[in-house]
Amino acid sequence: MILCSRVTPRRHCKWGHKCAGVVAVLLVLTLPLALGAREREPNSVYAARRARLAAQLKAPIVLFGYTGRENSSPSYVFTQEENFYYLTGHNEEGAGLLVMPPDPGEKGWKGPGEILFLPPRDPSQERWNGPRISPADPDVAEKTGFAVTEPLPNLKTRLGDVAKDYREMYTLVAHDSDTGYPHAREWSKWLDQAVPGVALRDAAPAIGALRQIKSSGEIALLTKAIELSVDAHLAAMRMMRPGLYEYQVAASMVEIHAAGGCETEAYAPIVGTGAHSTILHFNELGAQIKDGDVVLLDVGGQYSGYAADVTRTLPANGHFTPRQREIYEVVRGAQDAVFAALKPGMTLGGRGGRSLEQIAREYMDAHGADLQGRTLGRYFIHGLGHHIGLNVHDAGEANRPLEAGMVVTIEPGIYLPEENIGVRIEDDVLITATGYRLLTSRLPRTAAEIEAIMAAARVARRTP
């Protein structure tokens, strides 16, 4: 998946008698699929993150979880606000968090160092949605990892006490660029009314910086998402052939994710055939795959909140044409050039000797040309990669020099609309102390390997 947000507008149906089936498949593709309990890290990991953040910011931190009312669709399945989840591991509605700086007693604070605020139990609501953790539960400390939990209505009183000693607090403040559910805007307004005169500072940059370095538990969850995504891409290679529809390929991949335990897709699946392969965020998925097309598949699962992001480009009939192979090899060569330089201290974007994107672009410019003889770097129209984690475009400074423990995508691409050829190869990597580890290594990258898998599948389909 590329470096910008995707908003899918409503469109008129243009698939005739196939409409009902396509709509049903698209619903499967875009809705959460599995409702089982998430795997999560130990409570001690979340507590250590809160302590580190508190020591860094040196002021009270107030965060709010999502309410469960962010989406009125009947298909909506609750998923916690990412920063709140990163610090608490709590994935239920309507929670709040107060974390005090180290040694708050120096300023007169007599309360606990941190409090998780939870909604009081509502038996009538639980008849519909199931039981929720309550501050009155006898095992609430064991479940949440917080020594002190209180009913959410207590938060305003607690903040009033905090405001007696502190004139600034950290939270997620609203920005003009915020889109979608106005979480930060609503709670910033609430805080302004609850503690007037207290300056609200943005905690997002500090939390984002922490999120960029993954714990061993996060790497394990990301690996599960990636392995299931690799399984789905291998299955797509084996099923790919002219005559299928884009949505059929996507549906088979989503089914593999769901059967393996993914709760949803990391993003709306992209399966684009022919000219659609040149559209970066193509997700209409209505076209029939034609003999001679290339098909771009950018599909990744989300496992226990953690997102994979994987792309391969396949020949529809199992054989790249000479021109398709030429472009494919330029993209793969650019990716190989990046891998040769990939290590701590490099940056994903920007310019200069440490820029991996510049390495990829220079490789493209030195290899091959368009139909007018111009260099190919101009057709690499997006960034080289991004961090992945609790979001497929994870939090933090995008061009921060790479460090051990970061997990990023490397996704060069060339898109030639006039030739109906779009090629992207995207892999997920863990940055190590001396270089990197390719987390998608099980998924072939070379044209010859892809063609061999497709040829074997073709033989298997013919065998009774």
What's the pLDDT at 78? Answer: 87
**Residue pLDDT, tens place only, 342-370:** 999 999 999 999 999 999 999 999 999 99
**Residue pLDDT, tens place only, 111-162:** 999 999 999 998 988 888 899 999 999 999 999 999 999 999 999 999 999 9
Mean pLDDT check: name the lowest of 73-87, 148-162, 219-233, 383-397: 73-87
CB 54 within 8 A of CB 102: yes
**Residue 233 to residue 183: CA distance in whole angstroms:** 35
What's the pLDDT at 38? Answer: 84
Could you tell me the pLDDT band of residue 4, with boundaries at 50, 70 and 90?
very low
The C-alpha angle with vertex 133 and arms to 127 and 138, in degrees rounded to 5, equals 115
Task: List all residues 6 or more positions away from 307 whose beta carbon is below 8 Å from its beta carbon.
Answer: 222, 225, 266, 267, 300, 301, 388, 389, 390, 391, 392, 394
- Whether 249 has a pLDDT exceeding 80, the answer reads yes
Give burial (CB, 10 Å; 0-12/13-18/19+) of 179.
Answer: exposed
**Closest by alpha carbon to 94, among 127, 134, 123, 54?**
134
* Domain boundaries defined on the chain: 26-33+215-462, 43-211
**Residue pLDDT, tens place only, 20-75:** 334 434 444 444 443 446 899 999 999 999 999 999 999 999 999 999 888 878 77
Q: Which two tokens stand for residue 339?
A: 């891998």
At residue 327, the 3 state secondary structure works out as helix
Cα 219 versus chain centre, distance: 14
**Residue 14 to residue 292: CA distance in whole angstroms:** 23
What's the pLDDT at 35? Answer: 41
What's the pLDDT at 464? Answer: 74
3-state helix, strand, coil in the chain (%, to 5): 40, 15, 45
User: What is the DSSP secondary structure assignment for residue 373, as one 8-state letter?
Assistant: S
Q: Which two tokens stand for residue 403?
A: 């460090």
Task: List all residues 6 or more positions away from 214 whose beta carbon is below 8 Å from its beta carbon.
Answer: 222, 389, 405, 406, 407, 430
User: What is the DSSP secondary structure assignment for residue 419, as one 8-state letter?
Assistant: G
Mean pLDDT check: name the lowest of 17-26, 247-256, 269-278, 380-389: 17-26
What's the pLDDT at 175? Answer: 82
What's the pLDDT at 37? Answer: 65
**Residue 67 to residue 71: CA distance in whole angstroms:** 10
Which bin fits 345, alpha (ψ -120 to 50), beta or left (φ > 0)? left
Per the prediction, the chain carries an average pLDDT of 91
Q: Which two tokens stand for residue 237?
A: 């290679």
**Residue pLDDT, tens place only, 300-319:** 999 999 999 999 999 999 99
Which helix (H) or strand (E) segment holds residue 307: the answer is: strand 306-307
Could you tell me the pLDDT band of residue 19, with boundaries at 50, 70 and 90?
very low
Q: What CATH code would you report for 43-211?
A: 3.40.350.10
What's the pLDDT at 8? Answer: 30
Could you tell me the pLDDT band of residue 11, with boundaries at 50, 70 and 90?
very low
**Residue 442 to residue 116: CA distance in whole angstroms:** 42
- The model's pTM: 0.91
Q: Which two tokens stand for residue 238?
A: 């084996």
Task: List all residues 6 or more positions away from 190 whose beta carbon is below 8 Å from its beta carbon.
Answer: none
What's the pLDDT at 9? Answer: 30
Mean pLDDT of 10-18: 32
**Residue pLDDT, tens place only, 324-335:** 999 999 999 999
Rounded to 10 degrees, the C-alpha dihedral 135/140/145/150 comes to 10
User: What is the DSSP secondary structure assignment for residue 356, as one 8-state letter?
Assistant: H
- Whether 79 has a pLDDT exceeding 50, the answer reads yes
b/e for 336-359, b at 16 or more Cβ within 10 A?
ebbbeebbbebbbeeeeebbbbbb
What's the pLDDT at 58? Answer: 94
Q: Which two tokens stand for residue 229?
A: 């995504």
What's the pLDDT at 143? Answer: 96
**Residue 349 to residue 184: CA distance in whole angstroms:** 28
Q: What CATH code would you report for 26-33+215-462?
A: 3.90.230.10
User: What is the DSSP secondary structure assignment for residue 401, as one 8-state letter?
Assistant: P
